[in-house]
Amino acid sequence: MSELLQFVFSGMTVGAVYALVALGFTIIFNASGVVNFAQGEFVMLGGMITVFAHASGLPLPLAALIAVAVTAAVGVALNRLAIEPARGAPVVSLIIITIGASIFIRGASQLVFDKQIHSFPAFSGDDPIHVLGATILTQSLWVIGGAIAIFVGLWLFFTKTLLGRAVLATSNNRLAAQLVGINTKFVMTLSFALSAAIGALGGVLVTPITLTSYDVGLALALKGFAAAMLGGMGNPKGAFVGGLLLGLLEALTAGYLSSQYKDAAAFIIILAVLFFMPQGLFGRKSTDRV
Amino acid sequence: MSLLEIQGLGISFGGVRAVNDVSFSVKQGEIVSVIGPNGAGKTTLFNMISGVYQPGAGSVALSGEPVTGMEPFRLAQRGLSRTFQNLQIFQNMTVLENAVTGFHLQERGPVLADLFNLPGSRRRARQAEEGARALLARVGLERAADREAGSLSYGSLKRLEIARALAMQPKVLLLDEPAAGCNAVETEEIDHLIAEVAASGVAILLVEHDMKMVMRISNHIVVLDHGEKIAEGAPAEVSRNPDVIAAYLGTEAEHADG
């Protein structure tokens, strides 16, 4: 029992990070139809910038704030310099551009920062909390709580605010959105900034547990993408649940089978789900007009 | 006063002049129709006026202010609204939601007020919904309000697009084949609707293939052929113009004359 609980705790922690990456995928996908494979780099930048800002003497909260702001700016730059100029190109080309951007950001980070593994202190100390014979790090609570707060905030933003609904309208039909007076370029900028900021926040929250280096982004992007697919691409609820589910699957496989199989098991289950439900768990069937 | 003033508008695609040196104006409350054979450049002209294409030459003025090549969302903010021949509908939204988007500019308020669902934000949302329902009733779609837009017939979607455009309370309204795909009864309803909207002081620019409709409701007709304006005037003048007859029926008409 306590063993199971332990696996659940660690699965939830990792899953919350996947959920944040998947939410980042969802926002950009909804605004532009593009799957942004540089999403994992945002998480890396969030962690790395905080590490170096903190090391240069800034207090941790300020360092984290700078990291989120700088990463959001990188997201906006990605849109302006790489995606917007190629507008009109097929979505597949845009996705390949994001892969290129991801490689570029990774390479640049290796030069700007270094190749070492880094971390910074946990927010609320290193003493774990004991629950029913299992232990959970206080930092894990930060990660899970942060993911929940962001999810709720996003849900309110997209369902309650006119700006949020303008983003959804833009994703549905860009030209029609322009016709009713929506500045779709601003919507795109906002989506990339929001998405990058969320990724960076994930990086800030998780670095004290998982540590970070310039090359952690790729694995996170793949896992986050898998989580988003599992939940149903474009659906924030799906991204959130998909992320947590993927984290739990990995933790349980690692715990009960072997940690070597954790990636394989997760991907096999995703394949199975997509085989029977191609739209993902929460995806909605697309109806094309013929 | 001319609400919409088109001056020497032109555009080329890969060396082919799609539209060349077209000028005309639309006054308040006036219905001006652009007619011409298929491929004459009518929709291209619309796309330049509404900012979808950047014109290669010439200028567009809205209420006397230059707006040439301005992006569609800025034109919307300045009171120019349009519908499309091939529909630009939010397919995944309901009919009502589509109409509500037309109130986007009027519904704008502080984001935080929306987030915390403050009374002002609720009031704006309610007004938009009431306005949208009233407009759906006006175009005869009130009973389809909660259906998904993608499930509607082409003719109904045309009317939904008109309702959305009207929600923006435009000063100038561009209608690209509003009656296409509609049956005779629906066409007549759209007729009345357009006349009503014009009577309320909106300048209307219309592209339409239904000649009976064009002749009936237009104050002024501009005829395009091969991207050039070949005639303009009142419906009766235009329909007697030999160049127009030739453009529509081919050069045989000239041989028949001579």
| Topology of the domain comprising B1-79+170-258 | Rossmann fold (3.40.50)
How many residues make up chain A in this entry? 290
Amino acid A87: pLDDT: 81
Q: Is B150 near chain A, with CB under 8 Å?
A: yes
Residues of A in contact with B71 (CB under 8 A): 178, 183, 185
Does residue A74 fall inside a structural domain? yes
State the CB neighbour count (10 A cutoff) for residue A135: 14
Domain range enclosing A230: 2-276
Amino acid B40: pLDDT: 86
- Least confident interval from A207-211, A215-219, B47-51, B154-158: B154-158
CA distances to A5, A16, A100, A196, A278 from A252, in Å: 10, 15, 34, 30, 25
Amino acid B39: pLDDT: 82
> HSE (CB half, 13 Å, CA atoms) of A201?
22
- What contacts A224, CB < 8 A, 6 or more positions away? A18, A20, A21, A22, A24, A25, A39, A40, A243
In this model, does residue A289 exceed pLDDT 80? no
Q: Is A159 near chain B, with CB under 8 Å?
A: no
| Chain B residue at shortest CA distance from A286 | B92
Q: What is the pLDDT of residues A233-250, one digit of tens each?
A: 888 899 999 999 999 999
The residue among B253, B217, B215 whose CA lies nearest residue B236 is: B215
Q: What is the mean pLDDT of residues A67-94?
A: 92
Say what the pTM is.
Answer: 0.83
Tokens of B11: 């555009």
- In this complex, do B168 and A180 lie within 8 Å of one another by their Cβ atoms? yes
Give the closest-approach CA distance of A230 to chain B in angstroms. 21
Which member of A157, A172, A287 has the closest CB to residue B90? A172
Q: Is B43 near chain A, with CB under 8 Å?
A: no
* Cα diameter, chain B: 76
Q: What is the pLDDT of residues A246-286, one digit of tens each?
A: 999 999 988 888 888 888 877 787 788 878 888 888 876 55
**Residues in chain B with pLDDT < 70?**
250-258
Which CATH number characterizes residue A228's domain? 1.10.3470
Tokens of A272: 């199975």
Amino acid B145: pLDDT: 86
Burial letters A107-129, b for 16+ CB under 10 A, else e: eebeeebeeeebbbebeeeeeee
Domain with CATH 3.40.50.300 in chain B: 1-79+170-258
Give the closest-approach CA distance of A287 to chain B in angstroms. 8
Residue A199: pLDDT band by 50, 70, 90 thresholds? very high
3-state DSSP helix/strand/coil % of chain B, to nearest 5: 40, 25, 35
A31-34: which pairs have CB atoms within 8 A and are 24 or more residues apart?
Answer: A31/A167, A31/A170, A31/A171, A31/A187, A31/A188, A31/A190, A31/A191, A32/A83, A32/A94, A32/A171, A32/A188, A32/A191, A33/A91, A33/A94, A33/A171, A34/A83, A34/A91, A34/A94, A34/A95, A34/A98
Q: What is the pLDDT of residues A138-177, one digit of tens each?
A: 999 999 999 999 999 998 888 888 888 888 888 888 889 9
Amino acid A174: pLDDT: 87
Residues of B in contact with A162 (CB under 8 A): 104, 107-109, 111, 114
Q: Residue type for B197, please?
A: V
Amino acid A284: pLDDT: 63
Q: Which of A87, A159, A180 to mutate to test the interface with B (most CBs of B within 10 A)?
A: A180
State the CB neighbour count (10 A cutoff) for residue B147: 14
Amino acid A51: pLDDT: 95
- When divided into structural domains, chain A yields a total of 1
Does residue A288 fall inside a structural domain? no
Amino acid A23: pLDDT: 94
- In this complex, do A180 and B105 lie within 8 Å of one another by their Cβ atoms? yes
- In this complex, do B91 and A178 lie within 8 Å of one another by their Cβ atoms? no
In this model, does residue A287 exceed pLDDT 80? no
How many residues make up chain B in this entry? 258
Whether B164 and A180 have beta carbons less than 8 Å apart is answered as: yes
DSSP state of B149: G
Residue A288: pLDDT band by 50, 70, 90 thresholds? very low
Q: Is A290 near chain B, with CB under 8 Å?
A: no
Q: What is the pLDDT of residues A35-72, one digit of tens each?
A: 999 999 999 999 999 999 999 999 999 999 999 999 99
Does residue A290 fall inside a structural domain? no
Q: What is the pLDDT of residues B156-215, one digit of tens each?
A: 888 899 999 999 889 999 999 888 878 888 888 888 889 999 999 999 999 988 888 888
Distance CA(A206)–CA(A216), nearest Å, equals 12
In this model, does residue A133 exceed pLDDT 90? no
Distance CA(B132)–CA(A153), nearest Å, equals 28
Q: Is A163 near chain B, with CB under 8 Å?
A: yes
- Concatenate the DSSP letters of all residues of B13-28 into one string: ETTEEEEEEEEEEEET
Does residue A282 fall inside a structural domain? no
In this model, does residue A290 exceed pLDDT 70? no
Residues of A in contact with B76 (CB under 8 A): 178-181
Amino acid B104: pLDDT: 82
Distance CA(A97)–CA(A36), nearest Å, equals 9
Interface pTM, i.e. ipTM: 0.81
